Amino acid sequence: MHITPKGRHDMKIGIIGAGNIGGNLTRRLTAVGHDVHVANSRGPQTLSALAQETGATAATAEDAVRGAQVVVVTVPLKAVPALPAGLLDTAADDVAVIDTGNYYPQQRDGKIAGIEDDGLTESRWTERQLGHQVVKAFNGTYAQDIIDKARPSGDPQRVALPIAGDDAAAKQAVTALLDEIGSDTVDAGGQDESWRQQPGTPVYGLAADAAAVRKALDAASPERTAEWRA
């Protein structure tokens, strides 16, 4: 569905990862007028098709982040420690960092001890790798829904996405951004509560309104089941 852009905002947004999620966030965020810089692991020369399609700038991770007011980290969890050290140091001082990551120990990531043995939530572990606070968002959203389920504010079919994190100002910025690209948000609490939206929970994969999202968050169990262990 097409949502009328509210005009150019000139907010620099760096997207680290140009796969299923990074690609579709590039599409939506450029569509509403943001200045999107997108990076992958193979280099900007491999992103020319996405850049041409969307008007985003293909960049290195360092260039995508420099001066950015919002950074989206959307790479496989096992790739987070491989991101350049101090990557976020050159972002805007009040940068809001969105983390879309999920731990898939059996299919993709292998064992991450900080999560399984030390009991860190997945996004708390990511914060420690990045040396920066994050807002957990989009992690339970099918990539295609970022395009297909976008609806203007007030539309009865609009979905709500849970966001978790400890930085209230960053959460406010993320809420405004999600509103622009077509969804409501539900504040799911701080990072230590963010297990409520991790894989295997009732809200994971749910595309529903705020009341249903709240109910699903409340019904979550903190236990990490065998399916989500290495």
Ligand X SMILES: NC(=O)c1ccc[n+]([C@@H]2O[C@H](COP(=O)([O-])OP(=O)(O)OC[C@H]3O[C@@H](n4cnc5c(N)ncnc54)[C@H](OP(=O)(O)O)[C@@H]3O)[C@@H](O)[C@H]2O)c1
Which residues form the interface with ligand X (CB under 6 A)? Answer: 16-22, 39-42, 61, 74-77, 79, 82-83, 100-102, 104, 138-139, 141-143
d(CA 101, CA 220) in angstroms, rounded, equals: 18
- Using CA atoms in the order 230, 138, 87, 28, what is the torsion angle rounded to 10 degrees? 140
Q: Which is nearer to ligand X, 8 or 99 (CB)?
A: 99
Nearest distance from C-beta of residue 6 to ligand X, angstroms: 25
Least Cβ distance, residue 144 to ligand X (angstroms): 7
CB of 78 to ligand X, least distance (A): 9
Instruction: Provide CB contacts within 8 A for 92, sequence distance 6+.
Output: 12, 67, 68, 69
CB nearer to ligand X: give 101 or 202: 101
Order of all β-strands in the sheet with 135-136:
57-58, 35-39, 12-16, 70-73, 96-99, 135-136
* Smallest distance, ligand X to C-beta of residue 7, A: 28
Pair 164, 133: CB distance under 8 Å:
no
Q: How far apart are CA 146 and CA 142, in angstroms?
A: 7
The CB-of-47 to ligand X minimum distance in angstroms stands at 8
Least distance in angstroms from the C-beta of 142 to ligand X = 5
| CA–CA separation, 81 and 167 (whole Å) | 22
Name the token pair of 105.
């120990």
In the complex with ligand X, the residue whose CB is nearer, 24 or 69, is: 24
Alpha-helical (H) ranges within 79-198 are 113-116, 122-130, 143-148, 168-180
* Residue nearest ligand X, Cβ-based: 19
When the beta carbons of 19 and 67 are compared against ligand X, the nearer one is 19
Cβ-based nearer residue to ligand X, 20 or 172 = 20
Residue 100 or 169: the one with the smaller Cβ distance to ligand X is 100
Beta bridge partners of 37: 14, 57
